[in-house]
Amino acid sequence: MSEFFDKNLNKLYKFSGYIAAFFLILVAVFILLGISSRIFGFYIRGLAEYSGYCMASASFFALAYTFVEGGHIRITLFLEKLSGLKKRLIEIWCLSVACFFSGYLAFYFVKMLIISYKFQERSEGADEILIWIPQTSVGIGSTIFFISVFHKFILTVKSN
């Protein structure tokens, strides 16, 4: 049963990475569109805001994938000097702290999303988009990141 969860969670992390890549492509498209619109003398309202929203989305969707692939700055330099039980205990402690903070982050981003949705908040930019729309990707991305950290914590505790 745990192999089923591991396999599907790893698919989720990889899919999250693909979504991040898609949002990075959108950032490039919006920037190129903004540059070309200036060259040809027309204005498209809100391009700077949309590229910012896409950058935030890409950043948060990339967190889980990057964590699972070992791309985040970690304490490996410190852990390499340890061995045995000390190494295992410190790794479990560090992952438990990471679980707490990533869970805290995800909880409050989702809470912020719900509040923005209830009050129908709009952005202060030229586009005046409902702010819960770009916040959705931040809430989902941070939640997937929490799941990936918790998954790593469980795997580390279970390993011998």
pLDDT digits (tens, 9 = 90+) for 126-158: 778 899 999 999 999 999 999 999 999 999 898
pTM: 0.88
Instruction: With CA atoms as reference, report the closest residue to 46 among 130, 123, 127.
Output: 127
Instruction: Report yes or no: 149 and 92 within 8 Å, Cβ to Cβ.
Output: no
pLDDT, tens digit (0-9, with 9 covering 90-100), for 36-54 = 988 888 888 888 889 999 9
CA angle (6, 82, 77) in 5-degree steps:
75
